[in-house]
Structure 1
Amino acid sequence: MAMIPTRRFGRTELPMPVLSLGGMRFQQSWSDLAADQITAASQANLRATLEKARAAGLHHIETARHYGSSERQLGWLLAELPDPQRILQTKVPPQADAQAFEAELARSFRRLGVERVDLLSIHGINLPEHLEHTLRPGGCLEVVRRWQGEGRIGHVGFSTHASLELIQAAIATDAFDYINLHWYFIRQDNRPAIDLAQAHDMGVFVISPTDKGGHLHSPSQRLLDLCAPLHPIVFNDLFCLSAPGVHTISLGAAGPQDLDRHLEAVALLDQADALLPGVVEQLEQARHEALGADWLASWDRGLPDWSQAPGEINLPVLLWLHNLLEAWDLESFARARYGLLGQGGHWFPGANADGLDHTVSEQELLGALAASPWRERIPAVLRQLRDRLGGQTVSRLSSAD
């Protein structure tokens, strides 16, 4: 098995493997289970996953305080499966009360059974107040700096689902050594944040490229055909890892078998320049044929922010989902994301289109779309989307990051 290459993780100077083992899917439960509720089968699956990852060179493991039983299960195995090159990361959400944040941080360390983590992320700087809670005098970052001074934390970063503007503001503070963010083929709007992170010599970790990158673990036949000769996972991994400024992407493995496609991508990394253009051309051609050049050039122009839209309908996200459905038939992903709108708090803000013609009239919507060149067409698009995807809700807890 070829070993996974590493990249300098920005100013942390850590040799970061280009694949990171994410801890969101290998846990037994999204509840923080008591020790006696963890099954032997679940631990055996995690052990096999960790052993395969270590053998391949996935020395970076990242989890989070609120990934259910992930920290506890992982903690039981870290000492049993030693890895001198291991880079351990967890994530703890910011809080207005720094003492409450520190209590959660301490709980993370207890669950993991460690005295030190190499990387700590402030988990979910999604709103301006999260950044303020982190940076203010006496805030969360002061706790982190004290723990760093005690040798318990190596480097501090942040994870985010925020607007590009807020992500850039957080980077510009220069308070963080690295960032966990979303960026992949179907969602490239955070590219300026990656460029700014590069300018600040920050490590860049791409979150959930397989799941949030389009449910590539269960691709449509159309997507399989358009990505040929590559599997969609392999294509997206190569796309992300070939981009300037990206150091590592997460591999959210439910079991050891989930490593295989990503390892296939790494084996092809030196051929990415030859392999990617043909697939990108096929995908772009399909998108233009399905949606038309005029729509693609201006669909997002003049759309209000969800907070300013009637019924808080998240028009930019909903029209983006429409585009993904029409171009590449990403129904599984679109259905999950549609269901999260209105259910996910600040992780997935705004509402879906279920309220149109009920709590929100067409006239109200048209009034909010005064600056859109597609004002007359968008209500029909939203109804079509609602008819195809609506009526179901999704719990955020199992879909964060």
Structure 2
Amino acid sequence: MQYRRFGRTELSMPVFSCGGMRYQYKWQDVPLQQIPADNQANLEATIRRALELGITHIETARGYGTSELQLGQILPQLPREKLIVQTKVAPTADPNEFRRTVEQSLRNLKLEYVDLLGLHGINTPELLEYSLCPGGCLDVARQLQAQGKVRHVGFSTHAPTQVIVQAIETGRFDYVNLHWYFINQFNWPAIQAATRHDMGVFIISPSNKGGLLYQPSQRLIDLCAPLSPMVFNDLFCLSHSEVHTLSIGAARPQDFDEHLKTLELLDQANQILPPIIQRLEQAAIDRLGQEWLETWHLGLPQPEDTPGQINIPVILWLRNLALAYDLIDYGKMRYNLLGHADHWFPGNKATQVQQFDLRQCLANSPHADKIPQCLREADQLLGGEAVKRLSQSD
């Protein structure tokens, strides 16, 4: 394993983290006695495998159902000083509720403290305000820190880049969990801001949200050769020193294996990556055209400023990926979340796009005439039944 300084926390962070949202029994809280023995055994085997590999960062959240409770059955058995344990709690308008939830997380984990506490899902300006207002959730987190129950405080986010940057520029957080990987590089300005503030940078779900890379399209496999798409993406992310760790959402002990192939390549990234990136970029140009790729995102409205709250930027981005790299399954998964994921993935699909006049909201786009048809194409290509977020699953 390799390690990087996690910003001003000064923690020695492994470049891979063990994310806790895929090995738990349920996305809802259930009594410990209802958790099957084989599920608990698999979780414990996954944690022990992570530690054997030097993956000392165990990351979970109060919103991950039974994850905390199940981790509480094994973490107290392990050498505490060798672990970096992180949980996340959603900010609320009532800071006392936030405090109670953090204390419940500590009881679930059976730990006296967590190394990292994240305010979970600062996805909107309103949630940022809940967090930062005097006496709000961040102040409560700092009080818990003073009591020795929390060592460092950060936030996780699925927000638009400008909201993430706004949160970072307050200088009040120690680290950030955010999305950034090859197919979604929009948050690079936020990573740069975090670097300026000496914050730890944790990349959320690079293999799942980064393109369903555990079941990649054949086109992506061919374009990323001789690397697997998963290893390519890991190497792409970690070739940037501003990035400190990538989450591996392991569901079983062997889920770490493919990622580990990245480690021996890190010092060769400057030689290995450029030809693969060039192939990927040229493949997108061949199918979409260079002018479109360079300008499609310009002047697009946000969902709240669009008739029907259609999320035009996300839909066009998913269409690009589907056409350029045959990421149809990934596009369907993400597209069909629209309208069902609240602030975690806001806005609606383009199912009813023909009913709306988009001319005014697209007035600043160089592709205003083309975009309505692109939205219709995307809905035909990616539309289907609504998809629930994992946390909404049974």
TM-score tier by shorter-chain length is over 0.9
Structure 2, unaligned stretches of length 5 or more? none
Distance 2:369 2:42 in 1: 53
Correspondence 1:50 to 2:47: yes
User: What's the offset of the Cα at 1:368?
Assistant: 2.4
User: What's the offset of the Cα at 1:399?
Assistant: 8.0
Aligned to 1:260: 257
Aligned to 1:85: 82
Letter in 1 for 2:26: S
Distance 2:377 2:139 in 1: 49
Q: TM-score, structure 1 length as denominator? A: 0.96
The 5 Å alignment of 1:194-213 reads 194-213=191-210
Letter in 2 for 1:370: A
Aligned to 2:366: 373
Letter in 2 for 1:309: T
Distance 1:164 1:369 in 2: 20
Per-residue displacement from partner, 1:136-175 (whole Å, max 9, x unpaired)? 1111112111111111100000001111111111111111
Aligned to 1:131: 128
Correspondence 1:20 to 2:14: no
Contact 1:54 1:83 in 2 (8 A): no
Secondary structure in 2 matching 1:268: helix
Correspondence 1:393 to 2:392: no
Contact 1:25 1:252 in 2 (8 A): yes
Correspondence 1:236 to 2:233: yes
Aligned to 2:219: 222
Letter in 2 for 1:368: C
The 5 Å alignment of 1:346-357 reads 346-357=343-354
Amino-acid identity (%): 55
User: What's the offset of the Cα at 1:279?
Assistant: 0.9
Per-residue displacement from partner, 1:41-87 (whole Å, max 9, x unpaired)? 11111111111110100000000000111111111111234354110
Distance 2:218 2:86 in 1: 36
Aligned to 2:316: 319
Per-residue displacement from partner, 1:324-352 (whole Å, max 9, x unpaired)? 00110111211111011111101101111
Structure 1, unaligned stretches of length 5 or more? none
Contact 1:94 1:125 in 2 (8 A): yes
The 5 Å alignment of 1:2-401 reads 4-82=1-79, 84-357=81-354, 360-361=355-356, 364-398=357-391
Per-residue displacement from partner, 1:353-385 (whole Å, max 9, x unpaired)? 11223xx33xx1233222222222212211111
Change in Cα spacing, 1:181 to 1:399, as seen in structure 2 (3 Å) is farther
Secondary structure in 1 matching 2:74: helix
Per-residue displacement from partner, 1:113-157 (whole Å, max 9, x unpaired)? 111000000001111111111111111112111111111100000
User: What's the offset of the Cα at 1:397?
Assistant: 4.0
Secondary structure in 2 matching 1:335: helix
Kindly report the root-mean-square deviation, in angstroms, between the aligned alpha carbons of the 2 structures: 1.3
Contact 1:61 1:87 in 2 (8 A): yes
Secondary structure in 2 matching 1:353: coil
Letter in 1 for 2:306: A
Secondary structure in 1 matching 2:360: helix
Distance 1:71 1:213 in 2: 25
